[in-house]
Structure 1
Amino acid sequence: MEMENLGDGEESQMLNGSVSESLNTDRVTLDEGYEADEPASQEQEGFLQHVSSQKTQFTDFEGKTSFGMSVFNLSNAIMGSGILGLAFAMSNTGIILFVILLISIALLSCYSIHLLLKCSGVVGIRAYEQLGQRAFGSVGKILAALIITVHNVGAMSSYLYIIKYELPLVIQAFLGLTKATEDWYFNGNLLIIIVSILIIMPLALMKHLGYLGYTSGFSLSCMVFFLCSVIYKKSVIPCPLNSTYTEHTVYTNGYNATEDECSPKLFTINTQTAYSIPILAFAFVCHPEVLPIYTELRSATKKRMQNVANVSIFAMFIMYLMTALFGYLTFYGKVDSEMLHTYNQVDPLDTLVLCVRLAVLVAVTLTVPVVLFPIRRAIQQLLCPEQDFRWWRHTLIAVCLLVIVNLLVIFIPNIKDIFGVIGSTSAPCLIFILPSIFYLRIVPKEKEPLLSRQKIQAALFASLGFVFMIISWSFMIVDWTTTGRSSIGGH
């Protein structure tokens, strides 16, 4: 009898030890920010029940993506077509105002990701749409899914827009022509369809986002080459432009600048400034990709994912600042809303510019599948959240999305319209509003009272998003009504 009682005691001790170990592991995984500061005994019984109900909401895919690959994927999600509009933004804000805005939006993006990760840790959810459902029920889930879809469709459209207009110019330069012909390979609409089928679709059909880490790294290296070329071109393109630059130089759109036009502006505001702030906001939005990347991160913790976000945003901040500064100091007020177009107007047969075009085309092409993943996930969360993975559904959603985006690109007149409209609507929602209101609703009052410093900061952050949206739309509407659509039409 004594041995039997001893066995029962050992079994009970082992069971308690197993439960305690499981509890501590799950607590660190769910939210190290809150739980690390509290003794395990305080909430053990209640929290164990909470963990058991929430743990199943995590994906069953064990994170295998390294820190570096996660940085590549998130950086690739941040950087895309937005980098081509930054010199234009600087020309309409001035250097000082641009730097202030760029620093502000980079810091605000880091803070909003911090709010997202805290919400995710508290409830044990790593899906943007499920955070919306936890905060506001089915309405919140639908709203989050729709905003993610609208924003990422706009981002994909801007990438394909670049392919549509730049790929024919690359082919033209390769053939040594100064003017495109009527042949099919100069038809941008046809070329984006071919690229979508042959390159984007196979990558978009991969099952997990982490597999795209290598293509993201290659895409980023292409954009580094683009930055180096922009810096170099500043040293060889004169201002005002003159015939000593190159034998191929072509002057268009009044490019014979005066000395006055070759002086950098430190601070300026005009009707085009309305597009500058949305372009900057659009350039830093990566929030739909944060939680999927967090899910697939190896040894995933909130702190580790925040470090991924901080490194990615800082790297992109440096690239953005250098690209905008040297692009602006090359063309000043003559820089186009799509900077590569400006180089083409200077010398369409320049070999380095041709290589830069190819690098940018490769970069934006490889970014499209990364941006498509969160849209597909949002659609699946709306239509079939509880169903297992099916290849036919995975493929069908990708095909439908690419068809829709291709149709949009065929009919959208200008990339600035995409930057402006998407940057002033979905971008403020994803950066400012949704993370803040999710945080206010999801983080329990027992942890942080409504009048706590953290909750007040989140409320002010959401208010800033609404102000940002209203001001941006007001300026754009004024610009449309006073200057007409011709001012923002095609090139």
Structure 2
Amino acid sequence: MDISRAPDGRNKQPWVSVFNLCNAVVGAGVLSFPFAFREVGIYGGIFYTGIIWLIEVGALCILIRVAEANQSRSYQELVTSTLGPRMAALTSLTILLFVLSAMISFLIITGDVFQPIFADIFGNNSGLADRRLVIVIFAAIVILPLSLKRSLRELKWTSTISVIMLTYLTVALSTLGIAHLVDDGLPQNIRHFAVGLPAFIAIDIVVFAFQSHIQVIPIFAELSDHPYPFIREGRKPLEERLLPVPEGLNTGRPLSRVRSIRLRRMDGIIFISMTICFVGYCLVGEFGYILFPDVESDVLKSFGSDNKYMNFARVGMALVAIACYPLQCYPARSIVEDAIKHLLHHPASQHLHVFVTLLLFTSTLVTALLITDLGTVFSIVGATGGVMVIFIIPGLLLVQQGRQRRSLDEVLSTLRDKLEESLKWIKLIAGPLFVGMGALIFVATAYIISKGYQTSPQVHII
């Protein structure tokens, strides 16, 4: 019996969720962080990455709380239950385009990395050295079986690849960067802090490198009501003391709230996962930029093809792409299945699961075989879909929660009542800020694309 599985089949081990969430975050985009730091400087890169990290953690915590209150198991279910079916339809469409673009890019990366390896082994004239055949081989033998898994918990071993490779890339670049600083000092042409248009180029890269909002709700839905502690035996459901009770004050009810163990663990999962990525991203960006002040969008290109340590990183990032594909397939399949069940009144079944998986797999595989670079299309889809799920939806949820009114017979007589009323005003302020920031990033990205600048570079590891 799997001890990490609860009697209801849900995941009891929070570290499985940590690895799955890291896998949802980490992708080939980490290789663009030195380029982002080049645009805003060594201090600016850390500053902007820290701000986005803080926003991302807050947005994910908002989403899981609303998901728990509405018992939502997917992002589109959450939007349907809170913002209505029309908004859910628009959100589902943008999410589907967003994740399909990511799935196609993962197949392209797989072919770009392993084709030269197959050519060295079998010869350039061999049929096995053909890029398209390489993609088909890895897609059919590795990616499709993983994509057919019915739960994210079953991807726990492949999800560790992302954490391992982020750690390897971080250690390798940090070691080389520190050695360079000791021998030669800080390069003369290094930027320290930059604002303006370069900042939006960097923010665009950082924002979408942290994207995990679509996957966080299914990960939370699979978490058991009583998961194991991270390290040692945990306490009872957390009693949070909001404020000390002033002597003589009639509070009417206890000044405490019980936060479920499940929600408490998920807060820890989000914080640990995002912090791992934050530290890794900053170190890769910092030392990659120090090593190569004129770094390209893919830092591995700056090392050439004869560096065996970075060649291992190339293969590792391709393995990350393979591991990320089924994690992106999960929400895409959920959206298509929901649409089929709604339109055809078809109940959920194993046959529907297999059919939709094969449909998504075939469509993305054919697209990856026909093209090698989606360029601006990926940037536009990423900007629209990413902005909606990362900023717009969490902002609208905050506004909706802040506008909820009490019944007329309730009086704000207790200290907790007043605290909850203050939180509503905070939500009413924070919600429009989220929406406004998303709109600003979208407009800035659209302007940058129209001017021909490179944003959210589509990384090809060669």
TM-score, normalization: structure 2? 0.78
The 1-side partners of 2:127 and 2:351 are apart by: 32
Measured after TM superposition, the shift of residue 61 of structure 1 is 5.5
Instruction: For structure 2, list consecutive stretches of 5 or more residues without a partner in the other structure.
Output: 1-6, 227-261, 407-419
Match of 1:474 in 2: 447
Alpha-carbon spacing, 1:90–1:382, altered in 2? closer, same or farther (3 Å): same
Look up the SS of the partner of 1:82 in the other structure. Answer: helix
Amino acid at match of 1:136: L
Match of 1:267 in 2: 193
Match of 2:238 in 1: none
Q: Is the 8 A contact 2:387 2:442 kept in 1?
A: yes
Measured after TM superposition, the shift of residue 212 of structure 1 is 0.6
Question: Percent identity among equivalent residues?
Answer: 21
Q: Does 1:361 align with 2:314?
A: no
**Mapping of 1:312-461 within 5 angstroms?**
312-333=273-294, 335-344=295-304, 348-384=305-341, 388-410=347-369, 414=373, 417=376, 420-441=379-400, 444-446=404-406, 452-461=425-434
Alpha-carbon spacing, 1:218–1:354, altered in 2? closer, same or farther (3 Å): same
Look up the SS of the partner of 1:402 in the other structure. Answer: helix
Q: Is the 8 A contact 1:93 1:273 kept in 2?
A: yes
Match of 1:210 in 2: 153
Look up the SS of the partner of 2:84 in the other structure. Answer: helix
The 2-side partners of 1:409 and 1:361 are apart by: 15
Q: Does 1:201 align with 2:144?
A: yes
Measured after TM superposition, the shift of residue 262 of structure 1 is 5.8
2:36 aligned residue (81, 86, 89): 89
The 1-side partners of 2:421 and 2:338 are apart by: 29
Measured after TM superposition, the shift of residue 408 of structure 1 is 3.7
The 2-side partners of 1:296 and 1:442 are apart by: 25
Measured after TM superposition, the shift of residue 399 of structure 1 is 1.9
Q: Does 1:184 align with 2:184?
A: no
The 1-side partners of 2:358 and 2:180 are apart by: 43
**Mapping of 1:1-20 within 5 angstroms?**
none
Cα deviation code 1:421-470 (max 9, x no counterpart): 34422111111101221343367333769962222212221121111111
Measured after TM superposition, the shift of residue 95 of structure 1 is 1.6
Structure exhibiting the larger radius of gyration computed from Cα positions? 1
Look up the SS of the partner of 1:425 in the other structure. Answer: helix
Look up the SS of the partner of 2:292 in the other structure. Answer: helix
Q: Is the 8 A contact 1:64 1:297 kept in 2?
A: yes
| More displaced 10-residue stretch of structure 1: 462-471 or 449-458 | 449-458
| More displaced 10-residue stretch of structure 1: 421-430 or 287-296 | 421-430
Amino acid at match of 2:303: Y
Instruction: For structure 1, list consecutive stretches of 5 or more residues without a partner in the other structure.
Output: 1-59, 242-258
Measured after TM superposition, the shift of residue 227 of structure 1 is 2.2
Match of 2:71 in 1: 124
The 2-side partners of 1:231 and 1:127 are apart by: 38
The 1-side partners of 2:371 and 2:41 are apart by: 28
The 2-side partners of 1:488 and 1:435 are apart by: 26
TM-score, normalization: structure 1? 0.73
Q: Is the 8 A contact 1:278 1:423 kept in 2?
A: no
Q: Is the 8 A contact 2:211 2:390 kept in 1?
A: yes
Alpha-carbon spacing, 1:85–1:412, altered in 2? closer, same or farther (3 Å): farther
Match of 2:208 in 1: 282
Cα deviation code 1:92-145 (max 9, x no counterpart): 222222112111111111111122122223323232112221233221221221
The 2-side partners of 1:225 and 1:466 are apart by: 36
The 1-side partners of 2:432 and 2:278 are apart by: 26
Q: Is the 8 A contact 2:173 2:284 kept in 1?
A: yes
The 2-side partners of 1:283 and 1:388 are apart by: 36
Alpha-carbon spacing, 1:414–1:290, altered in 2? closer, same or farther (3 Å): same
Q: Does 1:305 align with 2:305?
A: no
Alpha-carbon spacing, 1:126–1:309, altered in 2? closer, same or farther (3 Å): same
Match of 2:221 in 1: 295
Match of 2:3 in 1: none
Q: Is the 8 A contact 1:440 1:455 kept in 2?
A: yes
The 2-side partners of 1:327 and 1:396 are apart by: 43
Amino acid at match of 1:454: K
Q: Is the 8 A contact 1:436 1:461 kept in 2?
A: yes
Amino acid at match of 2:362: V
Look up the SS of the partner of 1:206 in the other structure. Answer: coil
The two structures, once aligned, show a CA RMSD in angstroms of 3.3
Amino acid at match of 1:396: F
The 2-side partners of 1:124 and 1:260 are apart by: 52
Alpha-carbon spacing, 1:275–1:402, altered in 2? closer, same or farther (3 Å): farther
Alpha-carbon spacing, 1:102–1:294, altered in 2? closer, same or farther (3 Å): same
Q: Does 1:164 align with 2:111?
A: yes
Measured after TM superposition, the shift of residue 157 of structure 1 is 2.6
Match of 2:26 in 1: 79
Cα deviation code 1:23-50 (max 9, x no counterpart): xxxxxxxxxxxxxxxxxxxxxxxxxxxx
Amino acid at match of 2:211: V
Measured after TM superposition, the shift of residue 78 of structure 1 is 0.7
Measured after TM superposition, the shift of residue 306 of structure 1 is 1.9
Q: Is the 8 A contact 2:32 2:205 kept in 1?
A: yes
